Structure 1
Amino acid sequence: MDLNWLRDFECLARTLNFTRASDERNITQSAFSRRIKALESWVGLPLVNRATYPVQLTDAGQQFLPVALGAISQLSESRQSLRDADRGDSRFIRFSVLHTISVNFLAARIEELQLQIPELRTRVVSDSLSTCCELLVEGAVDVLLCYYHHSVSPVIEEAAFARKDLLTERLIPVAAAEPVRAKGWNLARQDGPPIPYLAYERSSFLGMVVETTVGRQPLNAETIYVDGLVETIKRRLMTGSGFAWMPETAISAELAEGALVPIGDDAWCATLTIAALSNPANFDQTTQKLWELL
């Protein structure tokens, strides 16, 4: 059984609405429904009556809810106790971070910070946006790094945390230089064969940014590949398979070398902010120093 199943069930029991619950959990409604059905298969009984509106918990669901809440709490507390014990004399500062930010920003930044803070020890958890936010809310990590965009923000009660904006970058449409030259790929063109499009999962943060901003413009493109990871899509880009929207930090070297080139002007770009969130009230001296220098 997956801990996410229990968190999904708690969210559905609170909202009594599959659409609202899936939005809050930051996954598609179909994926959310599959996870609820998987939990019901594990329990062996229906937990939700889908024939009513709003949906209601069955008798079995009502009985299982306090069990699920207790399991979530106990597992979270046990995980934190194990992590605290693992820290020993050298306390590790823990980050939860989107995978692409970890690869293209945080790793180099931590290396720089260790020159200024020799005693710095860090542990990084790279995961989905919803999981990264949950880890911060639960107190399982000290700092969350994520993207912000004016139309898409993390699902988190931001007022409870301190926020520090670290970097602003663009999300730009790019493709390998060779097919761009050979086939004339340009998003401004509405004629000719559709441009092969390497897209993000709509439930991912970057997928939502593209969907709600630049992706609403008329687009002569055909989606041929969908993935949630920037690095995986980047590999397809480098082979000339199509075009994709990429954060500049993820492709700075390839842009400088000319291996990747933009295929749209500023109207096709979006602006992203890499931000850090934390609860400074829980900081020790080393974490406070890191936060000030971050």
Structure 2
Amino acid sequence: MANQASYTCAADGSYGDIYIKGKSISPQWIARLFSSGPYTGCQRAQIVTDRLNSMFSNPSKYWFEFCTPGIISYPTYSVIIVPNVKRSSIPDISWYNTTKELIMDVGPNDSIEPWYTALLWANNIRREVADNYNYNPTSLYVPSGRGIIETDFVYRNQADSYYGAGESLNKQTITGEIFHTCDLTVATRVRWTQNEFKNLFYQKGSVWIRVYHPSNGRVVVCRQNDWGPSDSVYQRYCRTIDLSYGGAREALGTGTGFCDSGDKVDFRFLE
């Protein structure tokens, strides 16, 4: 069955639900699309439906493996897609593309934890898209918590590196995902060994991390979906957290992250 999006609305237009091939993709137990700014919830649902159908009509340009949470205009969390990126058996040069296109914003009227709700929307879209290219988009790892409960320790003044800017890539993360440079993800090695992180993932633990960039005041909540930085980066530059280049790094506006740089980040694990 071909990909086709549709929508329904509340009688008063206050919210809308979205469907792909007749199946709801709205995470209804958490959020629908509610009225926001100049648009009613129904109008927003229509806009998102039109965007999806436009993308479905151009399957050679839009591969929904590269539909993820993201930030196009800080501080708004969104569901985005990166056009002209191809899934292949090995990392493709197109995987470095950081051109993001909006599918939907997740605003304050939609959710009190927009990073979590954007992830659910993205996964629901990925689940329902037709298998047009002899593959199914892999599911993005959903931590057990919603990223709203703080742990008791802040890693302050940490040098950060980034991943997905043109260097040699691994195809998959520890969580089994294809690497997406525009997703809001990080890798760190400060709390667990590599095997401990694998076990946490297998046990469906919560690995949300809130990253704060003191030099500009920006804050982004990300998923940890890998363990890093690599030994050479960690030992040579004493960096403790890897940021997705087109996602977390771009949203936070961080610099080079060298240890002698004043451009550092703070981060904290959330449940």
- Same fold per superposition (TM over 0.5): no
More helix by share: 1
TM-score with structure 1 length normalisation? 0.29
TM-score with structure 2 length normalisation? 0.31
Query: Which has the higher Rg, Structure 1 or Structure 2?
Result: 1
- Kindly indicate whether structure 1 or structure 2 has the higher relative contact order, using CA contacts under 8 Å at least 6 residues apart: 1
